[in-house]
Amino acid sequence: MDDRLMTRRRFLNRMSLGLSALAGAVVAVPIVAYLLSPLIKPAPNVWRDLGKVDAFTVGEEFQEITIEDPSPLAWAGETAQTAVWVRRTAADQFIVFAVNCTHLGCPVNWLPGARLFLCPCHGSIFYADGTVAGGPAPRSLFQYQWRIQNGTVQALTRPLPIG
């Protein structure tokens, strides 16, 4: 028998080894990423413009504002789109909440008639002040620091400790 010809047994042996190596890599990559995650540089805290102060009326409902959020994750690209809920409570006072539910990070919706935030994923409910009204959410909505800079409302972005 010619050694250059591959037998069925040799072929199946090599296929089994190759598929086992592939399965091992699929399992190992997330584990290694988890173990190395403390070494990954966190996203920088960056002030993001939310809009001109005059665009927000005192006492009006929350407005959803889309912002660019820096992300340390390579597969998210250089920046990722996220949003915040903004409400002007007084002439120089604002409330800025993260759009993410504190349970698993789903985006919450503002229900103006009920004056509640509702998470469509698992049913968490939050009052207008961000505190938990019901559901599996373990804590209040995350609040961003804000400031007024040159007539523009800005929020200090940061990674959110979801989960």
Give residue 79's pLDDT.
61
| Helices and strands per DSSP (H, E), number in the chain | 1, 10
Q: What is the pLDDT of residues 40-87, one digit of tens each?
A: 666 667 888 999 998 898 888 999 998 887 665 666 655 677 889 999
pLDDT confidence tier of residue 33, bands split at 50, 70 and 90: confident
Question: Do the beta carbons of residue 38 and residue 144 sit within 8 Å?
Answer: no
Give residue 18's pLDDT.
95
Give residue 3's pLDDT.
63
Identify the DSSP state of 36.
Answer: H
Higher pLDDT: 37 or 77? It is 37
Give residue 77's pLDDT.
59
Higher pLDDT: 135 or 6? It is 135
Averaged pLDDT for residues 7-28: 92
Averaged pLDDT for residues 30-37: 80
Q: What is the pLDDT of residues 74-122, one digit of tens each?
A: 666 556 778 899 999 988 899 999 888 888 888 899 999 899 999 998 8
Q: What end-to-end distance do the CA atoms of the chain give, in Å?
A: 61
For residues 81 and 40, what is the distance between their CA atoms, to the nearest angstrom? 21
Q: Is the pTM of this model over 0.75?
A: no
Averaged pLDDT for residues 138-151: 91
